[in-house]
Structure 1
Amino acid sequence: MSHYVIGLDLTDASSFTFTWAYRHLLSDGDTATIITVLPGWTEGTTKVSELTPEMSAAESLAQERANNLLLEMEKTEKRQIETYFRVVHADQDPRVALCNAAVNLKASTLVLGYDQKKSSHDFGAYCLDHCQVPVVVVRPTLL
């Protein structure tokens, strides 16, 4: 049984990555933790009451997107996969935060998307070079 951490933001590339991982990587009995990294959490801030309205709205939007993708996959792919969703509010570089989350969760693999529309692909390159768990970067052929 493997534990995959899947980075999810609000891009189409990220949605494709989640769908690809669910269809091609995850198997019965695996665990998937979907993580969205949002900026704005300062060290020592631990209470939901300390979230700004913008942070709460972004967290809700990320949760809704993850739930919709998961429901869509569960309709078409009949597998027993334990799934979790986490939002990481980070005051550090989101690349570092995602890699740290994968390590802290003892993930077997970190799965990321590749956004062809962006001119810079620092996120995936950073994780490939620095993450302490194996990294899969999913590059869609068509979006």
Structure 2
Amino acid sequence: MQPQKNLPESDLPPLASIKIGIAVDLSDESAFAVKWAVHHYLRPGDAVILVHVRPTSVLYGADWGSVDLSIVETDEESQKKLEDDFDTFTVSKASDLSQPLVEAQIPFKIHIVKDHDMKERLCLEVERLGLSAVIMGSRGFGARKRGSDEPLGSVSDYCVRHCVCPVVVVRYPDEKDGAGGAAEPAVSLVSAAKDEEAEAEYDDATNDRGG
């Protein structure tokens, strides 16, 4: 039986006591994080929620790098059509990202919300959904320039410091990692900071998730 993409939380399998979130922003980095989670982290019985914060206006899309849009001022009707088209694109793209979960027959739902502040809203949704852990790419979200030596993008860094649950950050392989980016990704398991001033602690999470 194929898993349902928009499975209500109440309909998730009763044995799925652990809810794992995968934060996605429709980028290649997010697609890689989903694949990594399927092959290295998720276990039988886990319930998965793909969490996407869609900007309140498509004008914000360029800020986090998922879609390259050239937008000019339009009348209200044209703007509404643009927003509707972007909503359709968002749902379609999120469904594409979920294919590794479909193929692995892992139950999941897609949770999409709108907000102008992606960082704060993502942390709020993680808490509201009662997630046990959240997995995300390191640079897909409002990423610093590719090739930078900085390990995290602004959203990833914020979530590491403010999410109430552990955050697993998966770095998308760069060209410098090897031909075609085939090198093993650098993965860090980061415990949620108890204090905003606390330094994030990184544990070795390059191996599969333990039992």
Give the shorter-chain TM-score range. Answer: 0.7 to 0.9
Segments ≥4 residues shifted beyond 6 Å: none
Offset, 1:71 = 2.9
Provide the residue aligned with 1:37 in structure 2: 53
SS of 2:49 mapped into structure 1:
strand
Larger fraction in strand: 1
Q: Which amino acid aligns with 1:59?
A: D
> Any gaps of 5 or more consecutive residues in structure 2?
1-16, 58-78, 146-151, 174-180, 183-211
Q: Percent identity?
A: 26
Q: Does structure 2 conserve the Cα–Cα contact (< 8 Å) formed by 1:9 and 1:62?
A: no
Does residue 122 of structure 1 match 2:125? Answer: no
Q: Which amino acid aligns with 1:65?
A: K
Q: Please, what TM-score do these two structures have when normalized by structure 2?
A: 0.55
Greater relative contact order (Cα 8 A, min sep 6): structure 1 or 2? 1
Q: Please, what TM-score do these two structures have when normalized by structure 1?
A: 0.78
Structure 1's 132 and 7: CA in aligned 2 closer, same or farther, altered over 3 A? same
Q: Which amino acid aligns with 2:26?
A: L
**Larger of the two Rg values belongs to structure:** 2
Q: Does structure 2 conserve the Cα–Cα contact (< 8 Å) formed by 1:4 and 1:33?
A: yes
Q: Which amino acid aligns with 1:58?
A: F
Offset, 1:100 = 0.6
Larger fraction in helix: 1
Within the candidate set 85, 88, 100, 1:60 is matched to 88
Does residue 99 of structure 1 match 2:123? Answer: yes
Q: Does structure 1 conserve the Cα–Cα contact (< 8 Å) formed by 2:34 and 2:100?
A: no
> Any gaps of 5 or more consecutive residues in structure 1?
42-50
Provide the residue aligned with 2:132 in structure 1: 108
Listed one character per residue, the Cα deviations across residues 40-88 of structure 1 (whole Å, up to 9, x for unaligned) are 18xxxxxxxxx9433332332222122223234433x3x4x22000111
Provide the residue aligned with 2:201 in structure 1: none
